[in-house]
Every structure is written in structure tokens, then in C-alpha cells.
Amino acid sequence: MTRNQCISLRESLPSDVGEPEPHDTEQDVFNLDQTQSRQWESNRKRACVLVGSAVLQLPIWGFAMNYGVFQEYYSDNWTLQGSQELTGIIGTTSNGVMYLSMPFLFALFTKRWAHRRQTAALCGAAVTSISFLLSSFSTHVWHLVATQGVMAALGCALIYSPITLSLGEWFNTSNRAVAYGVVLSCKNIVGSACPFLLRILLDRYGFDTTLRIWMAIAAGTSIPAIFLIPTHPSSISSNTHQTPKIPWHFLKHQTFYIYSVAIILQSSGYGIPQTYLNTYAHEVTLLSQTSATLLLTLFNIPGIIASSFFGYLSDNKHFPLSATTVTSISAVSSALSAFLLWGLASQGSMTLLVLFSITFGFFAGGYSATWGGVITELELEAAQRNEAIDTGMLYGLLNGARGIGYVSGGLAGVPLLKAGSTSSLGSFGYGTTYGPLIIFTGLSSVFGGWGLLWKWKQLLHLM
């Protein structure tokens, strides 16, 4: 081969043999940028969902958690027709109706109407606002029960259910219990700040104007926050095809019923101090209205830390505790505070009531944050049996169990209060009109941790 032929052959060969294609490198960079962009957008949406869910705790729970302020106001400023005793069921009825309606709403918005979650939440905001507006024109006690205890509660549930489903879906891969704990902490911030706000409004403007101001607050905070919470793409995409059925296999598991009964028992007692602690402090221990309102604030403040704390105990990787252990810590500690602090409080003993508000508010207020661990335990059971499970629907049913507890506690509270006025159960708080309520609160709280006894029974059978 001649020298010119060799040169010609060399020139005809590709000059970049063995070298990387520049196009491939550019494509990799482009794909990396796309991945980072999608990750940043996902994190941004998750942050918006968390912020929106946190803000919505104000219109959802601001009234229900602090109804005791209104209860105390009614005792000194009763102008409506009908029995004043019926006002005692409004707060617990409000909580009960909200929680009872959640299983149905969760079932509705989990799959079939997932794409209409924002619309439903906006309708809930409208119903809530209209309810408080109508309530401001009440002339009879049943008007309050209907508007505040039922209608406003349904509106709040219509906000809560779709946004909670979206929260669980956006945080389904990690930190679910922590996300629930953060939102529940914000719920307790609302419960801590609102008592003084409502007390100031009631003293300055009266009952009717206060409810109209609260209507404006509820509408002004709920509507912008709802737009911060988009439905997760997985729910929207699944809705374009045939709607999948909700798996109900977990209803065959004994664990679900153990925790449901525990939640019912704990919730039936948890609503009692929220409703009656203010009036107890004002009427029995003869504290001022400001001091009585302070107790309700102190009752809710510890929940800010407790919700995150119990959520962490249920979700941590370093020293994992079972759901039964965490619920028992909450239940037994709150029961002891009811028996030893509220029950032993005598006239003028603000110190014991302050300690009760803080300890009971911490341990009982963090109980619902343990549900993340309960759901995780039921997920593991389903995985062991190779069964599907819908955690959103499961969370809705746990809320429904809490609603049964709230309603039961509210209905039991009125006759227990009457029983206390006709009999004496000893000295201190036990010997007052509120004695039966105190005992009921302690007993129902301790049975909220009975799941631990069930676990021990299982272990004894295995040994």
C-alpha cells in the first residue's frame, strides 16, 4: 500500500472512534437538570401542602377546641330561651360530628372524587362561615346546637377530610408521622392562642358580633390555604381510569378493633376538660375569668410539643416503640393527672389546676399523634398477609372512632353533672358537682391504653 493510500484511508475513518459522544453528555446533563427540577417542584408542593394544612387548623379547630370560653360566657350572660344545661353538649357534639363524618368523607374523596377535593374544601369553608353567621342571630338554645354543634362541624369536616388525605399522599414515602405531628402541633397552637382572643371579643363586642368576626376569620384563612393544597398526581391519574375499589381487608384484623375501642374510650374523656374546666375554675375554685381562660390556654399549649413528640416516638429509627407502648404512655399519664391533680384541687388551688392543664394537655393532647404508628403497624400486618390497605381510609375510620367517643362523652357529661349536684363523693374536687366528671375523665383516659394489655395477653399465649 502506497503512502498516499494510507493517508487517504486514515482520513476516511471516523475521527472520534473511542471518544464519548458530546450529544450523550449533553443529554445526561439535561436529564439531571430535569430530575432536579422535578424534585425541587415536588419539595415546593410538599412545603405548600404542609403550610396550607397548618393554616387550616385555625378555621377547623379554633371554635371546637375553645368552646369552653363560650360555655363560661353563657353561665354569666345567658339571654337565650331554653335550658342552659344543653350548652354543655355543643362543644363535644361539634367535635363528635366532625370526627363521625370523616369516615364517609374520606371514603368519598380517597378515590372516586379525589379530583374534587379542593372544590369540596371550598364548599366546606362556605358552610362553616354561613353557620357562624346564622348562629349570631340565635334566640333559642337549639339554634346554637344546630348551627355550632352540627352545621359548622360538618363544614369543618368537609375542609379537614380532603386536605388531610392530600397531606398523607404528599408525605406517603417518608416522614408521614412527623408531618401529622407538625400539623397537630399547629392545631394546638390554635387552641392555645384562641381562648384569649375569643374572651376579649366576647367581653368587648358580645356574643353576636364575636361570632360574625369569627366567621370573617374562618373565611379569610381557609380559602387562601385551600388553594395551597393540590391533589397528589397519583390520585388524579387513577381517577381517569376505572376507579379502584377501596381494600377493606383490614376490617378482618383484630388489631384495628383494639385500637378503635381504645380511641373511643380515650376521646370520651378528653372532651370533658375542654368543655367544663373553665366553668369549674370559675365556679368551684373561684378563679377570675382571666385565670379560667388561662387554664384552657395551658391545656392546649403542651399539645404543640406533645404532637411532634409522640409522632417522633412512633416514627423514629433509633429506639422504636410499638404503637401500643406509645398509646399507653399517653393514656396512663393523662389518667393519673386527672385523678391526682384535678380530683385533688380544692377552692382557690390554682396551682393544681395549672399542673393538671399542662400534664393532661400534654399526654392526652398527643394521643392522636400516635395514630401514625398505629397505621404503620396495620400496614405491616397487611404486608405480612399480602393484602392491600388504604391508609387514607384507615385514618378516616380512626377519626370516626374518635367522633363516637366525643359524642358519647358529651351525652354522658350532662347526667354526670346532675349526679354530682345530688351526691358527694368525698372532699376536694371529687366532692363537688364535677366529681363524677373527674372520675369519668380519669377512667376513660386510662382505658385508652388497653391495647398494651391485649399485647401482653398475646405474648402470654405464645409462651
- The pLDDT tens digits for 188-207 are 788 888 888 999 999 899 98
Kindly state the cell numbers that stand for 124.
366546606
For residue 419, what pLDDT is reported? Answer: 83
Statement: residue 48 has pLDDT above 80: yes
Q: What's the pLDDT band for 9 if we cut at 50, 70, 90?
A: very low
Query: Could you tell me the CA-to-CA distances from 66 to 13, 259, 358 in Å, in that order?
Result: 83, 27, 16
Q: What's the pLDDT band for 146 if we cut at 50, 70, 90?
A: very high
Query: Could you tell me the CA-to-CA distances from 307 to 115, 186, 260, 414 in Å, in that order?
Result: 30, 9, 19, 30
Lowest mean pLDDT among 64-78, 304-318, 353-367: 304-318
Instruction: For residue 229, give the amino acid letter.
Output: I
Which parts of 301-447 fold into alpha helices (H)? 302-315, 323-337, 350-365, 371-384, 391-422, 435-446
- Rounded Cα gap, residues 157 and 162, in angstroms: 9
- Rounded Cα gap, residues 238 and 289, in angstroms: 54
- Rounded Cα gap, residues 219 and 125, in angstroms: 6
Kindly state the cell numbers that stand for 405.
367517643
CA angle 97, 400, 147 (to 5 degrees): 5
For residue 10, what pLDDT is reported? Answer: 47
Kindly state the cell numbers that stand for 251.
376490617
Mean pLDDT is highest, among 240-254, 278-292, 405-419, 449-463, for 405-419
Kindly state the cell numbers that stand for 189.
397552637
Are residues 105 and 393 in contact, defined by beta-carbon separation less than 8 angstroms?
no
- Dihedral angle over CA of 338, 343, 344, 345, nearest 10: 90
- Backbone phi and psi for residue 81, each to the nearest 5 degrees, phi listed first: -80, 150
Listing DSSP states for 347-389 in one string gives TT-HHHHHHHHHHHHHHHHTGGGGHHHHHHHHHHHHHHTT---
Q: Is the pTM of this model over 0.85?
A: no
CA angle 6, 12, 18 (to 5 degrees): 105
Statement: residue 463 has pLDDT above 70: no
Lowest mean pLDDT among 29-43, 194-208, 326-340, 404-418: 29-43
Q: Bridge-partner residues for 140, per DSSP?
A: 81
- Rounded Cα gap, residues 154 and 101, in angstroms: 7
Statement: residue 427 has pLDDT above 80: no
- Rounded Cα gap, residues 308 and 234, in angstroms: 27
CB atoms within 10 A of CB 396: 24
Q: Residue 60, Cα to own-chain centre: how many angstroms?
A: 10
